[in-house]
A = this chain, B = another copy of it.
Amino acid sequence: MAQTVRRPAPRYGNRPTMKDVAARAGVGLKTVSRVVNSEPGVTVETERRVREAIDALGFRRNDSARVLRKGRTASVGLILEDLADPFYGPLSRAVEEVARAHGALLINGSSAEDPERERELALALCARRVDGLVVIPAGEDHRYLEPEIAAGVATVFVDRPAGGIEADAVLSDNAGGAREGVAHLLAHGHRRIGFVGDLPHIHTAAERLRGYREAMAEAGAPVDERWVSMGPTGAERVAAEAARLLSGPEPVTALFAGNNRVTVTALRVLADREEPVALVGFDDIELGDLLRPGVTVVAQDAALIGRTAADLLFGRLEGEPARPRQVKLPTRLIVRGSGELPPAGR
């Protein structure tokens, strides 16, 4: 059994402090601070002595104390929805890049798509006094951030707008992208096109559905409401719905998948079928080019989105004035084969 002596005093497992360094180097406390922060006004000889003491003791500045004193932390938080989603890799990397360029540390956390967790995480980061926050919302209501924003925490929402408050947001052109994707199917002769999307109250899902309707309307193709399926994007429901759309006397000849998870499930369903069914998905998927046929998708530029959000954030931090801004970024249709299949016989 370990002798778990409850540490009586703080002192971080006895880490050396500037005071210790100062004592060892035989200089004043402030001189150590100056050396650590590369402030001017220290002779080379003094600096050498101080550095020697620092190395000998393994001293590392306590940033908590520094933050407490200075008021700024030079760090920003990024709250992702789901670390496993390949969409967020490049996004996070782009944000980190910009943060680095501004000398800030990026801390990221994942809400695991749980609104409560998003809230906890955001508030925990605020309690640590991050200077800013990039949030990919999991929840619908962000009023809990109001005091934080009022207190000066720069906040930018990504992928979906904030709920209940006015705040900066960087979004993809969801409606436009979906319209383009559906128009692509229409251009290849399809008239009966199914739409499988996420829950209708989710902003991106609603927007994409809107794009679908617009494209159909523009082409003068009537929409049978039974072709539209909105709901949770778990594999079971999506597979069942896709199967439903593809059966019956008048099955759809093409599918538009409302996000990458739907696309993957749809692919699995289609793989088991004889007749080819056209498919266009929103969001790129990994290995989309390796499948036969390749998967045609409407892709978002995750890196651009991340960079834009981060630029907006640091703009605010540098005192940019003005009211909250919504930036909408274009999507790109990537043609790989599955979207160009002609309607099945009959």
Contacts and interface: CB of A to CB of B under 8 A. Distances in A.
Nearest to A85: B89
Interface string A120-150: 0101101111000000000000000011101
Interface residues of A, number: 71
A139 to B, nearest CB: 18
A58 B321 contact: no
A58 B109 contact: no
Copies of this protein, total = 2
A220 B91 CA distance: 49
A327 interface: no
B69 A10 contact: yes
Interface stretch (A11-19, A160-168, A192-200): A11-19
A3 B319 contact: yes
A147 B59 CA distance: 8
Contacts of A106: 109
A286 B148 contact: no
A105 interface: yes
A90 B112 CA distance: 11
A344 to B, nearest CB: 20
A128 B64 contact: yes
Interface of A: 2-4, 7, 9-15, 58, 60-65, 67-71, 73, 82-86, 88-90, 92-93, 96, 105-110, 112, 121, 123-124, 126-129, 146-148, 150-153, 264, 267-268, 271, 285-287, 289-292, 318-321
